[in-house]
């Protein structure tokens, strides 16, 4: 039988949530400080996914200005009821708005509504459950006391007024004694009983999935004696898949059950530069509870394909020539732009970035467009025309983990190219060289955790810039936070005023695995 490979969404796609409408499946994931927010993927076989758009794609919907690294959008849930799609989510550390909100749409491709904020909804990781009696319920997690004691609460939700009504019910405080971060609650109704699925143990190595059941939606919920029903923390840090948790369930039109969940793929030791990715595992029900990955009890790197008609989508091209009138959906900004700094029309066939004072070394919105790293070994390169008007101006490629941990390969004044690795907020210049006339090509390649930079100008071939260096500085266990690496096209004058611009003729990304 044909098999599929995990992850089904490689790269930084954490906290997945899924719903089915007829033969169509829709999935959203967290995006933290990146804009547009909450990518919405579409599938018809649960294996092949295409990026349909973003739930929050207008600046008015998503005020991310000033949000720190790994702040922003946490753990969305998507549900569909009576012809309406609902996405609920939490904006963390917002300077203009913060907290839980709901947006709606009748077409998942959009447009989605402006957020309705729910100041009465404490905590984070919200979810919706539509019962078969017509009532709807909101669940979420809130901190009881540091460093991670939480509780899951539930309250009725009015889908017309988009508000919480009625009494609040605390329904869960964790499966294990002294458990930290019981979170990510989702409620389902299976064979007449209510099933509460949550995460536990934090989002790293100790992550897990636990389950409880009840006769009434408001509880009391009794934990399964099999808890945790899924975890990899007992498999050791050398296992190829780690940190499995934060699951959401879906039943196919053929009656099969599956879970989407997050997990990581460490490499070069316990380091995962790609962040937390979306995996798919089969689920069966026994004694009223879900059994994840029956037969092995762990997230496998491959499974038999679901009993659905295969539906692959066209493979995106490896090179973006910037010939389209709008940016490809794979590109994102770092926080919400307050002014335009990207143009595809000023010079057709090129992406033009304004050189602005904002720097990628600060929690601001610099002139950068990024896309996810999706392979452990990869090639990323760009073709660039740029003339610096001052000593601080530079443009080129960035491997971005956060403002304190990243790699910059930039063309600057006097046609000098510098390679800088930033660790713990401090820059280390690795290499520098001058390039000749013509279009400059910059490349960052990784083979596992070994990263190298290459440069070329005009008709000359690639040449190595400096020695290969260790890429573990870009991994979450080193840099902290919740995101994976993003690869960016970038221009900055590092605090100085500027009227310059940088023209990128193309960008190429391909896996080397």
DSSP, residue by residue, 25-52: EEEE---BTEESEEEEEEESSSS--EEE
Active-site position among 183, 404, 494, 503: 183
CA-CA distance, 419 to 410, in Å (whole number)?
A: 7
E-state strands within 310-439: 319-320, 332-334, 342-343, 351-354, 367-372, 378-385, 394-402, 405-411, 416-423, 426-434
Structure-block tokens of residue 138: 């909101």
Residue 387, CA distances (Å) to 289, 316, 360, 491, 498 in order: 63, 31, 20, 11, 12
Tokens, residue 497: 């005023």
Question: Following DSSP, what letter does each residue of 159-201 receive, concatenated?
Answer: TTTTEEEEEEEEEES-SSTT----EEEEEEEETTEEEEEEEES
| Torsion angle of C-alpha atoms 392, 393, 398, 400, degrees rounded to 10 | 60
Residue 235 bridge partners (DSSP)? none
Q: Which of 15, 33, 320, 404 is catalytic?
A: 15
Query: Does residue 183 carry a catalytic annotation?
Result: yes
Distances (CA, A) of 152 to 20, 196, 297: 25, 10, 26
Count Cα neighbours of 103 within 13 Å in the Cβ-side half-sphere.
Answer: 26
Q: Which residues are catalytic?
A: 15, 183
């Amino acid at each position: 039988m044909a098999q599929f490979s995990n992850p089904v969404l490689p790269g930084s796609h954490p906290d997945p949530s899924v719903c089915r409408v007829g033969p169509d499946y829709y999935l959203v994931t967290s995006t933290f400080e990146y804009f547009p927010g909450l990518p919405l993927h579409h599938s018809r076989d649960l294996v092949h996914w295409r990026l349909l758009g973003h739930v929050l794609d207008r600046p008015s919907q998503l005020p991310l200005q000033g949000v720190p690294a790994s702040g922003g959008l946490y753990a969305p849930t998507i549900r569909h009821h009576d012809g309406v799609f609902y996405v609920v989510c939490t904006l963390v550390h917002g300077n203009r708005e913060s907290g839980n909100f709901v947006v709606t749409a009748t077409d998942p491709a959009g447009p989605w509504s402006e957020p309705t904020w729910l100041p009465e909804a404490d905590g984070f990781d919200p979810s919706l459950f539509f019962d078969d009696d017509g009532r709807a319920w909101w669940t979420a997690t809130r901190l009881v006391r540091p460093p991670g004691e939480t509780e899951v609460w539930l309250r009725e939700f009015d889908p017309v007024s988009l508000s919480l009504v009625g009494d609040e019910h605390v329904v869960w405080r964790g499966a294990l004694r002294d458990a930290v971060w019981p979170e990510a609650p989702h409620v389902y109704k299976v064979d007449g009983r209510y099933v509460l699925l949550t995460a536990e143990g934090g989002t790293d190595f100790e992550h897990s999935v636990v389950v409880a059941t009840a006769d009434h939606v408001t509880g009391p919920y009794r934990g399964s004696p099999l808890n945790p029903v899924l975890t990899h923390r007992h498999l050791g840090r050398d296992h190829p898949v780690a940190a499995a948790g934060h699951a959401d369930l879906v039943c196919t039109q053929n009656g099969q059950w599956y879970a989407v969940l997050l997990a990581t793929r460490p490499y070069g030791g316990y380091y995962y530069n790609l962040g937390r990715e979306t995996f798919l595992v089969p689920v069966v029900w026994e004694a009223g509870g879900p059994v994840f990955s029956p037969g092995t009890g762990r997230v496998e790197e491959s499974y038999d394909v679901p009993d659905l008609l295969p539906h692959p989508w066209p493979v995106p091209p490896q090179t973006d020539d910037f010939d389209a009138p709008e940016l490809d959906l794979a590109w994102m900004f770092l926080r919400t732009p307050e002014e335009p700094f990207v143009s595809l029309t000023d010079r057709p066939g090129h992406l033009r970035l304004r050189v602005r004072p904002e720097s990628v070394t600060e929690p601001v919105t610099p002139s950068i467009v990024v896309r996810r790293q999706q392979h452990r070994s990869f090639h990323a390169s760009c073709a660039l025309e740029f003339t610096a008007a001052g000593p601080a101006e530079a443009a080129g490629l960035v491997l971005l983990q956060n403002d304190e941990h990243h790699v910059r390969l930039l063309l600057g004044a006097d046609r000098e190219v510098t390679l800088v690795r930033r660790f713990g907020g401090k820059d280390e210049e690795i290499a520098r060289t001058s390039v000749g006339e013509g279009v400059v090509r910059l490349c960052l390649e990784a083979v596992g955790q070994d990263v190298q930079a290459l440069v070329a100008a005009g008709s000359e071939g690639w040449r190595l810039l400096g020695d290969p260096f260790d890429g573990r500085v870009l991994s979450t266990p080193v840099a902290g936070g919740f995101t994976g690496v993003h690869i960016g096209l970038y221009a900055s004058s590092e605090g100085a005023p500027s009227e310059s611009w940088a023209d990128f003729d193309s960008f190429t990304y391909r896996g080397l695995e």
